[in-house]
Amino acid sequence: MKIGVLGTEMVAKAIAGKLSELGHSVKLGTRDVQATLARSKGDMAGGPPVRTWLESHPQVTLGTMAEAARHGQLVVNALSGQGALAGLELAGEAALAGKILIDITNPLDFSKGMPPSLTVSNTDSLGEQIQRKFPETKVVKTLNTTNAHLMVDPGKLAGGDHTMFVAGNDAAAKAEVTGILQTFGWRDIVDLGDITMARGTEMWLPLWVRLYGTLRTPMFNLKIVR
């Protein structure tokens, strides 16, 4: 499948690398291709700059947001929470119309330092804002409740015995995304319901950040016991 991944930071590279490894045709999307390739600084997690990462992932290509969105039969939003809506606007409503958009983004606000707060919560979510902005796109919220390493390889923790969630308005879109998650290794996938359920998964992030500080590792996740 042709897949566009919007973003070039740690999460985007992890998702793009896994999808390419699984045989998909992947194009990363950025706001300015030349500026992105000129960067010598790595990502916030200590990963390599994009140009170096692309050299080790030759099957993945880089283009503008619009080019990545047009390339993808399915598109992944791996942008920062505060830049997501603007980035998706650059991708273009027409390029996203009728397609599944996997939304991994969390509405984290670091403007006052650590720990971050949320830019939206309780009665709305970033997932819902994206769905309202792009009504012809099938938004599915998932993978935003754990770190990038576990997103693409849940077996790195407890043999993969932990839980991932999906939420979205389109049942067929959720089923297709669930199939992709299963190829990543996810076995316990809980369908929470419509896109309003993104409120719950996004509001998990303040506790996630504090657990990260306490445990001193991002390698943890929720397990729903029932």
Strand partners, 25: 2
* pLDDT greater than 90 at residue 42: no
| Number of other CB atoms surrounding residue 32 within 10 Å | 10
Model confidence pLDDT, tens digit, residues 134-190:
999 999 999 999 999 999 999 999 999 999 999 999 999 999 999 999 999 999 999
Task: Measure the CA–CA gap between 86 and 108, rounded to whole angstroms.
Answer: 15
Residue with tokens 């509405």: 107
Model-wide pTM > 0.85: yes
Counting DSSP H helices and E strands in the chain, the numbers are 11, 10
Q: How confident is the model at residue 128 (pLDDT cuts 50, 70, 90)?
A: very high
> What mean pLDDT comes out for the span 189-204?
98
pLDDT the model gives residue 113: 80
In 3D space, the residue among 133, 41, 51 whose CA is nearest the CA of residue 90 turns out to be 133
Q: Which CATH class is domain 2-215?
A: alpha beta
Q: How confident is the model at residue 47 (pLDDT cuts 50, 70, 90)?
A: confident
* pLDDT greater than 90 at residue 114: no
pLDDT the model gives residue 117: 86
Domain boundaries, the chain: 2-215
Average per-residue pLDDT for the chain: 95
Model confidence pLDDT, tens digit, residues 10-40:
999 999 999 999 999 999 999 999 999 988 7
What angle (nearest 5°) sits at the alpha carbon of residue 174, between those of residues 84 and 135? 50
Task: Measure the CA–CA gap between 27 and 8, rounded to whole angstroms.
Answer: 10
Model confidence pLDDT, tens digit, residues 75-100:
999 999 888 999 999 999 999 999 99
* pLDDT greater than 90 at residue 115: no
